[in-house]
Structure 1
């Protein structure tokens, strides 16, 4: 199965559907990632905060796949904000992953109260300039944080990974990303299952002979977002990839859009899990 590619603003292609490992223990991560790679995923999203970079690295090493066929994302956490600290954190992540070059490195959270994310961003720019990272981006950044990076450094992130699902459309952030040429990547794309029982989604799923999860993932993909669903169950891992043989029509897309019931326009500040 071939996953479509999204071209980032620096020309690097990124698979539109990847595999996330948030909350997967390191000793379970290798098997989960191996299952994902076996059925056709070619993008894996991890983070220093998750504590499972080593498990991701083991699965990649054991897969036998050429390194250039796997797109790997990791993130620097707020305890490693700052120029020098971020560079050291990157080295530690790469040691755990067992990689020489990372495909995408993100600032995991802006932590604006610290005032350190611009210096952290400059560290990511250095890693990019040195060829150690193919693309750099951010996670959980709101429009004002994107403005701060643009005004202080002049370099636009390639990706902004934010919480986004039918119950939380995060419209202002997505619009800000689009206006700046930043790809929106949705973490928790299925709202951790909370939206899968919505009548509108269930009815659309029945109409297409698909599961509610597959319908929600298709909704994301047709609207141009990158998604990284997570599971440790092989059957569900495979099912989440089986979303390229049907299309939602405009009425169905609008029905799912209408499920936004949160009303917020930014990331949830207490859920550091993007």
Structure 2
């Protein structure tokens, strides 16, 4: 993951801290984001270091939860995301909460949690992630037909690629495999590869090396989105594609991290809010 700036919401949250403390917390959020794929345990340490200084800042609790999930600590993930949701009032991490219930072996509770929010109130990428998590819970319960229905949403569009399309197509293909519909599954896996490749190519052609695909619809080669259907038939695999950055699952970050690693053991009492 490349370093990125904090979004406007996170910047506003950190402004509730003193400048010195905000800088400290921001550096650890950056390090958590940079290390989460390479060393999840170290990323979690950075997130916890931020939490010792800013336990009531929503983006900090979100980052602790995300790094806990990367370390398969699903109970901690749930606790932190409940706190994050209470502080922020947002449901954008609901799919991760549902998946954490699955990780704890509670697919029934995962489904109940997923149904607790009106899906129309969620941003489209969050709806798609939730559908994938709900489908996984159905598979856990051996409800394969229901798992397929969870994924049959308007965003399952085989003709256009959005930021969420590769994961959705692959999830759909996986359920088809469970239903022994191998030919259809292979077709959807191929669509997922094509979508991921098109999105990665779109990223590589941008002048800004840190460009992110964060909108519901991705600007594409034809002006509106990335078309898939006309080119899929002649698809030639071109090696392993590079995964695009995940918007939902990456902690926020800032520029100029400084020597954050050296501060991991800094447990001074000058922080604004402890983690409770």
> TM over 0.5, yes or no?
no
Q: Which has the higher strand share?
A: 1
Larger relative CO (CA 8 A, sep 6+): 1 or 2?
A: 2
TM-score by length of 1: 0.31
TM-score by length of 2: 0.30
Q: Which has the higher helix share?
A: 2
